[in-house]
Amino acid sequence: MHQAPGPDEEGESHDATLWAEVWQENVPGSFGGIRLYMTELIAITQKALQSQSWKMKAQGAAAMATVAKEQTGSLVAPHLGMVLTALMQGLTGRTWAGKEELLKAIGSVVSKCSGELKKPCAGQPTISEVLEIVLKECRKESLVYKMAALRCAGDVLHSSQEDRFSDMAEIIFPLIKKNCPESGRASLRSRQEDDDDKDVKEKELQTEALLCAFETLGKAWPRNPQTQARFQVEVCSLMCEKLKLSTWKVQLGVLQSMKAYYKGLLLLEKGSEDSDALSQILTETCAALTHPLENKSYSSVRTEALSVVELIVKRTGESDQWDCVCVKSREQLQRSLSTLQADSRVDLRDKAQELRRHIQSQP
C-alpha cells in the first residue's frame, strides 16, 4: 500500500491502490485499524526498514509515517514509545531516498505528544534522546535531507521548549553564511550564456536551504538567559545582513524569524539590565528594516516588516526601554514608514501612520 509508483504506474492501475482497497475493506476505518493492529504493524514496518532493498526501506518509512500521522493526536504509552522507538531506529545508518518520511513523522509525533513525552515511562524515549538522533541527521551532507532534519529538529525544539541552540548554531550559522542567493551576482552574470536548468535548480535549492535555516533558527531560539546572552548579537547580525542582501522570498523568511527572535528576546523584559546590548541590537535592526519597509514590489514583505516594527515598538514600550532606540534609529524608521503613506493597501498605510505617530510622540 505504501509502495511508491514507478514512472509508468499511475492511479487505478497501480498495485498500491489495490492494497489500499484491501486495507479499507478489512478494517473499521484507518484510525481504528491501525490502533487494532498497532503492534503487528510496527513489527512489520521495522522489518521493512531493516531490509537491504532501498525500495523496501522507503516503503517501511512511508508506512511508519502513516501509523504516526493517523495516531498522532491519541498516542500514549505504551504505543507512543513503540512508534517513536521504531522511527528512531529507522534513522540509523546512511541516507536513502524516502528516509525523510521518518523525520517528518518524528517531528509530527513529538509536536503533538510533547506533554506525554515529558512523563517518564519505561520503553519510551525522552525528548533529549530524540533530539540527539535528529541532530546527528542534521549534520548529514545531502542538502535536501539536511533540510528535512532541520525542520524536524525545529518542530521538536519549538514544542518541547528545550534549549539546544548551541548545537543548532553549529549547523545553521554556516548554512546561512555560505548561502546568499544574491551573492556572486557578477559571476552569475558572467556565465549567463551557458546558464542552464541545473544552475537554476541549484539556486532554488540554495534559497530553500536558506529559508529552512531561518525558519529553524526562529523555532530553536530558547528562553534561556545564558544562551541568549551568548548568541543574541550574532543572531541579530545574521538576520540584518540577509535583510539587506537577499531576494524578497528570503527577506520574508528572515522577517518571520526576526519576529520569533524579538518575541522571545529576554532583553525586552521588564527589569532587564543590559541596555548596551539592547541598544546595539535595536540600532542594527532599525537600519536593516528600512530595506523591507521600502520594498515597493512585494506587499507581503512590507506587511511582515511592519509587524516586526510594531512588535519592537510594543515590547520596548512595555518594558520602559524606549530610550534604547537612538535618535538616528527613530529617524530611519519614521522615514521608511512615511514612504508607506502612499501604499496601495489601505491597511498598510494606516498601520504605518499609526506607528510613525507613536514613534514621534516618544520622549
> Could you report the per-residue pLDDT of 300-350, keeping only the tens digit for each?
999 999 999 999 999 999 999 999 999 999 999 999 999 998 888 999 999
What pTM, to 2 d.p., does this model score?
0.88
Of 282, 351, 355, give the one whose Cα is nearest residue 321: 282
Cell of 226: 545564558
Contacts of 77 (CB under 8 A, 6+ apart): 116, 119, 121, 123, 124
Q: Alpha carbon 151 to chain centroid distance?
A: 5
Q: Which pLDDT value is given to residue 291?
A: 94
Q: What is the mean pLDDT of residues 3-11?
A: 67
Average of pLDDT values for 104-120? 89
- Cβ atoms of 281 and 239 within 8 Å: the answer is no
Confidence of residue 38 (pLDDT cuts 50, 70, 90): confident
Give residue 243's pLDDT.
92
pLDDT, tens digit (0-9, with 9 covering 90-100), for 281-294: 999 999 999 999 99
> pLDDT by residue (tens digit) across 232-286?
999 999 999 999 878 999 999 999 999 999 999 999 998 888 899 999 999 999 9
Neighbours of 192 (CB within 10 A): 9
Q: Within 10 Å of residue 149's Cβ, how many Cβ atoms?
A: 29
**Sequence-ordered alpha helix ranges (H) in the chain:** 15-26, 30-36, 38-49, 54-71, 79-91, 100-117, 127-138, 143-160, 165-178, 185-190, 197-220, 225-245, 248-264, 275-293, 299-318, 327-339, 346-361
CA gap 336, 355 in Å, rounded? 11
For residue 169, pLDDT beyond 50:
yes
How would residue 141 be classed by pLDDT, with cut points 50, 70 and 90? very high
pLDDT band at 183 (very low <50, low <70, confident <90, very high): very low
Task: Average the pLDDT over 183-209 and give the result.
Answer: 66
**Please, which pLDDT band fits residue 76 given cuts at 50, 70 and 90?**
confident
Q: Where are the domains of the chain?
A: 1-72+79-90+99-113
In terms of average pLDDT, the best of 43-57, 100-114, 157-171 is 157-171
Q: How far apart are CA 175 and CA 253, in angstroms?
A: 15
Q: What pLDDT score was predicted for residue 196?
A: 66
Q: What is the pLDDT of residue 10?
A: 58
Cis peptide before 181, with omega less than 30 degrees from 0?
A: no
